[in-house]
Amino acid sequence: MPADWVGGPGGLLANSRSWDEVQKEYEFVGLFESFEPQITDPESSERFHYWLNQFRYLRAVGELGCSLGEFNGIHNEIESIDDSQVNSKKLAIENRLLPVRQREMAKLSEVYKYLLNSINTRGGFGNLANWEQHVWSTAFKAQDDYLLKYLGELAPVYERSCDYPGEPRLIVPTVRSVIGASENFKLEVICVNMEVNEAKLFYRAFSEKHFSWIDLEHQARAVFRAGLKIDDPGITGFEWYVEVKDNEGSEFLYPAGGALKPAGVTIW
């Protein structure tokens, strides 16, 4: 695993081995990618691409760790140069350290892309928060300070983008399969990278043939919510799915199977 304990769990492992050597450990990702044309069912495709993005994310983190290890090794060599030879240090930083830093930042963008494309739970958002609040400060903040010290305004600044790098999709961070008889069924939907025109929650009791629907209410930014209260004590459960249409007319379903393969909730 390309992770390490760095001031706490979830740190980035600075790998002293080269990526040429380490990448052999991730050859399974390429094999998994080769199955993509065979996956055609919407639900199967959704599951497949979750794991594909997770594996690509893991591989990108592994390569980033090798770049971090390379940066640290070159940094230690440069620090062995006497402080009186400032120009020699600057030249070494520009010629040897900056190219590694640039590769690091390009790979970090790739890490974020695959992570954001696979997040579908609150735990996934926790992983994102770990990168923002922990990994950045322990792995890359010191690099910024070091380059700024010797290069001043010439030091490159990596601007972390607020733009979502993936395709529009729906995230339902909490999917409950059981609720109490006295509970409301509460659903939160995050409509990522789209301008929502309408958002609906469709539902039906296990014994019913046709779906009813209610509107999802917009809360803030990309977040929509809805609540259901099942008053009939004879209903032991229900099925549901979400349908969202954007301003361009595209339709998004959760679960991906929509009315054909809805999610189910048992009432106890």
Tens of pLDDT, residues 67-116: 999 999 999 999 999 988 989 999 999 999 999 999 999 999 999 999 99
Token pair belonging to 188:
């939160």
Residue 154 has pLDDT above 80, yes or no: no
| Claim to verify: residue 124 and residue 212 sit in the same structural domain | no
- Can you tell me the distance from the alpha carbon of 78 to that of 100, in angstroms, rounded to the nearest whole number? 14
Q: What's the mean pLDDT in 160-183?
A: 90
Q: Is residue 160 part of a domain?
A: no
Number of structural domains found in the chain: 2
User: Cα(45)–Cα(38) distance, rounded to whole angstroms?
Assistant: 9
Look at residue 164 and tell me if it is in a domain: no
49-62 residue pLDDT tens: 999 999 999 999 99
Give me the pLDDT at residue 184, please. Answer: 93
Within a domain: residue 105? yes
Instruction: Tell me, yes or no, whether 120 lies in a domain.
Output: yes
pTM of the model: 0.90
- pLDDT cut 70: percent of the chain above it: 100
Q: Are residues 133 and 208 both part of a single domain?
A: no
Residue 201 lies in a domain: yes
Task: Write the DSSP assignment of 206-233 as a string of letters.
Answer: TT-SS-EEEEPEEEETTEEEEEE----T
CATH number of domain containing 229: 2.60.40.10
**Domain identity same for 253 and 129:** no
Residues 174 and 148 in one domain: no
Q: What tokens appear for 84 in the block?
A: 């009186």
Whether residue 250 lies inside any domain: the answer is: yes
Q: In this structure, are 178 and 144 located in the same domain? A: no
Q: What pLDDT score was predicted for residue 153?
A: 78
Q: Which of 124, 154, 184 delimits the end of a domain?
A: 154
184 and 243 both lie in a single domain: yes
Q: Is the pLDDT of residue 254 over 80?
A: yes
Regarding whether 223 and 121 lie in a shared domain, the answer is: no
CA distance 111 to 28: 18
Domain that holds residue 112: 3-154
